[in-house]
Structure 1
């Protein structure tokens, strides 16, 4: 990629807070425990009783240890979230599923924010307002401006531990330490974003073929293109999008699985 093209690509990725100066910047993007107990040398009932109690206690402890390990693994990697997507290809009734695994070991702060947003149903009816093939799919502005306004407080950046390769999920921002709710899925291997501080928080583990079908016909967003204006989405929500950009793909639901 030559220098001119790099500048054009980078300058086209941004997240806008309608209540702050508009900035253009890069998108800040069991073990198994088997306890064997073989007692062939129990001499009397007392010994047998002690051994039986020990076996039972060991089984309980083993079960607790397995549960702890499983919980620890889930806490490290994060939970699986299944998104139901509508309007694939811009066609009503065309649906699909996308499963994202959060990775707290990659980016704990960002993954926790995404998890909280999922818990309150933030993604429901949210449109993928910026879809640029072989680059990114961007979403994360709630269709209700009142609900969106509740999440204006930003979170600090996470250090970049993994690359923005195809399928990774990353926050879009308006500069350092300004992550709020906007997210993009990398549909290209955007490794040039790594050195600019964009830290993936998870990855698509199922449904990248569905992600590729998100409607992209509107192109780049305003003012650079003719697509949706982020400031207008912040202010008017789905009232603006459903009227002016009815073919956008969107999430009808998102749930933990």
Structure 2
């Protein structure tokens, strides 16, 4: 017997998979006074639930001023904890189910971070290199950087993994600004609707 929850999940998966790819343009501050951009294209057929959550996050605008708090050279750059503790607390409870891994974690792909099974919320990372070892761990890419990868490569990496995620969650940007003022951060994340070209008559 199919439960209502299972039927709803199947419906959501089907709807997300049918969605068209879309793009998000990020404007970020690399260091004081230096701004740059990169663009991510999202493919719902790679990871339907992840793609839908990413769109939800962009629509909600919770990443404004969010810091790139974990930057590991030769591995990846991670962000996604809202700068306001109230928003972080709200979204921390909005976990989504895992997507199957349909695309490898190649350089430039974007993937949700997790803390265990079905634990994805708002944290994502971009792979600096091919990290195919993450595929077998259940990390499912939902998009890739299509412009400005040089910007991603230039995100400040001097603090490595030093920022404490628990304190970011509870204290927000006030903690990061005081303890890690050099961190790069997001100024804006703007949705770009991509309309496929129509066939010529």
TM-score range, shorter chain: 0.7 to 0.9
Which of 84, 97, 103 aligns to 2:43? It is 103
Which of 23, 28, 31 aligns to 1:80? It is 23
- Higher Cα radius of gyration: 1
Mapping of 1:26-175 within 5 angstroms? 75-77=19-21, 79-86=22-29, 88=30, 91-152=31-92, 153-175=94-116
Would you say 1:253 and 2:172 are equivalent positions? no
Would you say 1:194 and 2:135 are equivalent positions? yes
More strand by share: 2
1:74 CA drift (Å): 8.7
In 1: Cα distance, 2:73 partner to 2:154 partner? 10
In 2: Cα distance, 1:169 partner to 1:73 partner? 17
Cα distance per residue 1:54-109 (max 9 Å; x no partner): xxxxxxxxxxxxxxxxxx999232x11000010x2xx3011100100111010010
Which of 140, 150, 153 aligns to 1:209? It is 150
Alignment gaps of 5+ in structure 2: 1-15, 193-201
User: Under a length normalisation based on structure 1, what TM-score does the superposition of the two structures give?
Assistant: 0.67
Cα distance per residue 1:118-152 (max 9 Å; x no partner): 00111110000001112000000000010111112
Runs of 4+ residues deviating >3 angstroms: none
Q: Please provide the CA RMSD for this pair.
A: 1.5
User: Under a length normalisation based on structure 2, what TM-score does the superposition of the two structures give?
Assistant: 0.85
Alignment gaps of 5+ in structure 1: 1-71, 221-226
